[in-house]
Amino acid sequence: MKTKTFAIGGIHVDKHKISSQSAIQELALPEMVYIPVKQHIGAPAKIVVKVGDRVKVGTLLAEADGVLSASVYASVSGQVMKIEEVNSGQGYLETVITVKREGDEFEESMDLSDEIVREIPDNKEELLKIIRSAGIVGMGGAGFPTPVKTNIPEGKSVDTLIINGIECEPYLTADSRLMEEKAEQIVIGTRILNKILGIQHAIIAIDENKPQAIARLQEITKRYVGVNVQSCKSIYPQGGEKQLINTITGREVPSGKLPLDAHCVVQNVATVYAIYEAVQKRIPLFRRVLTLSGNADLTPSNYLVRIGTPISFILHENQVNMDNVGKVIAGGPMMGQAIAALEAPVTKTTSGITVLSAETADKPETSACIRCGKCVDACPMGLMPLNIRAAVEENDIAILKSLHVQDCILCGSCSYVCPAKIPLLDYCKIGKYELGRQQKAK
Ligand code: SF4
Ligand code: SF4
């Protein structure tokens, strides 16, 4: 099979996939879970329980409020203890439902057996309804409600479904393990999306550095006509939606537009697995697989975790030595968010927890820009990071707009290659934020 890649920029990063051989294991259950009512892009879900209510695993806690929203479910059985606004751990307030665990009792409707269900319901509206009701959102990080992304509006058309199994962030291996251990379920989930989109074909894109996942899915897809596996070059950020569309189809998503404008739908493998569980097993999204890894003193692992589990609980279960920890990140080191409060819970979009040693986490000394152009060569969006930095420093919004800072995907490639160690990614974040804020104000 010929390995493909995207046209502009990209960098080679050390992958550190040290948890790749660690099979998915179910994490012990915490005493309390903290379930935010907004774990997605859009409106918070509307709370349908009250303090004191008894719930089971899979009981609806809050219902999607409008089209761009997603329901949330209890991930443990027990009692609703609190409904309150708390610090998210990432600098903002959010409404959280606290459930105290008592036993582990499930809603009867769920099929929790290992049996694979292959027969797919035929009705597109019914499939969308199930996915919506199960609270499924993009689990690769974006958290966009999946029914919205897969329900194609009038006047638009799709001819390519891409399943994103790239997982290009260093350390993270949860998607890789899912592809190896739940390959057929992912292919059936892909087939469900095919039915919804009304197209016959799909491509599962996998990084060339995952030969076991490629082999496993190639073996399974032999039995499913129209689903093919594509090996992609191990270059960062291969898993970016726009980069992946370019890799697979050669098309470009125009500035400010969506994959749909390139006639593509992209779904991450964890999302596709959740779709399988919702449609074929009637299991709403109350758990997910995540990686715990990093260069701190820990055991690299892939866990099946209940949503709402505190990150501190996972670190404790893994016996992470916290003495020399400099930073804990939700996600990978390139695009993840540093966690300020370790009590913050796992959400639907937490694909991993990266724990870095104090030495790695220290901000390096910066020096003057030597105008080497490395940041420009690395940028997969064809931007000029060094000029974005200058415009941010001068707070020149007109220049920021002309530099297309809003197209920045915040991949961090520019910061990674800069020999002067200038935090270009931070400047891009500020630039995007300031431009967005001023446009909104207007
Ligand atoms: S990589 Fe760093 S030093 Fe080189 S041009 Fe860009 S900002 Fe300047
Ligand atoms: S963070 Fe933005 S500017 Fe920097 S390389 Fe990525 S897309 Fe380009």
DSSP secondary structure letters along 107-161: -TT---SSPPP-PPP--HHHHHHHHHHTT-B-TTTT--BHHHHHSPPTT----EE
Single residue among 238, 254, 281 that ends a domain in this structure: 281
Same domain, 173 and 296: no
Same domain, 138 and 220: yes
pLDDT digits (tens, 9 = 90+) for 219-244: 999 999 999 999 999 999 999 999 99
Inter-CA distances, 342 with 109, 172, 316, Å? 34, 19, 11
Single residue among 251, 281, 311 that ends a domain in this structure: 281
Asked if 264 and 249 touch (Cβ cutoff 8 Å), the reply is yes
Same domain, 64 and 197: no
Provide the domain count of the chain.
3
Strands 78-87 and 93-101: antiparallel
Which of 43, 44, 27 lies closest to 35 in space, CA to CA?
A: 44
Residue 373 Cβ inside 6 Å of ligand 1? The answer reads yes
Report the atom number in ligand 2 closest to the C-alpha of 415.
4
Q: Nearest ligand to the C-alpha of residue 11?
A: 2
Within a domain: 155: yes
Write out residues in the chain with pLDDT < 50, as ranges.
none
Within a domain: 252: yes
Report, in angstroms and rounded to the nearest whole number, the Rg of the chain calculated over CA atoms. 21
Asked if 291 and 352 touch (Cβ cutoff 8 Å), the reply is yes
What is the 143 CA–ligand 2 centroid distance (Å)?
21
Same domain, 69 and 191: no
Residue 335 Cβ inside 6 Å of ligand 2? The answer reads no
Single residue among 231, 259, 281 that ends a domain in this structure: 281
Q: Of all protein residues, whose CA lies closest to atom 8 belonging to ligand 1?
A: 369
Within a domain: 169: yes
Same domain, 168 and 239: yes
Strand partners, 205: 164, 230
Within a domain: 162: yes
Report the atom number in ligand 1 closest to the C-alpha of 376.
6
Asked if 267 and 239 touch (Cβ cutoff 8 Å), the reply is no
Within a domain: 66: yes
Which of 108, 111, 72 lies closest to 283 in space, CA to CA?
A: 111
Rounded Cα distance, 374 and 347, in Å: 36
**What's the CATH code of the domain at 202?**
3.40.50.11540
Residue 279 Cβ inside 6 Å of ligand 2? The answer reads no
Same domain, 162 and 274: yes
What pLDDT is recorded for position 89? 62
Same domain, 338 and 261: no
Q: Which single residue is written with the structure tokens 């991993």?
A: 352
For the sheet with 46-47, list strands across it.
46-47, 60-63, 72-73
Rounded Cα distance, 374 and 364, in Å: 18
Q: Which single residue is written with the structure tokens 């060094």?
A: 386
What pLDDT is recorded for position 278? 98
Report the atom number in ligand 2 closest to the C-alpha of 412.
1
Cis peptide before 259 (omega within 30 of 0): no
Within a domain: 182: yes
Same domain, 177 and 251: yes
Residue 418 Cβ inside 6 Å of ligand 2? The answer reads no
Same domain, 245 and 316: no
Q: Which helix (H) or strand (E) holds 293?
A: strand 287-294
Within a domain: 233: yes
Nearest 5°: CA angle at 142, between 147 and 77?
A: 70
Same domain, 311 and 427: no
Range of the domain at 36: 28-110+284-359
What is the 11 CA–ligand 1 centroid distance (Å)?
15
Within a domain: 364: no
Pocket test for ligand 2, best of 410, 415, 427 (most atoms within 8 A of CB): 410
Asked if 407 and 242 touch (Cβ cutoff 8 Å), the reply is no
Same domain, 128 and 276: yes
Interacting residues of 100 by C-beta distance below 8 A, sequence separation 6+:
31, 32, 78, 79, 81
Same domain, 142 and 221: yes
What is the 101 CA–ligand 1 centroid distance (Å)?
52
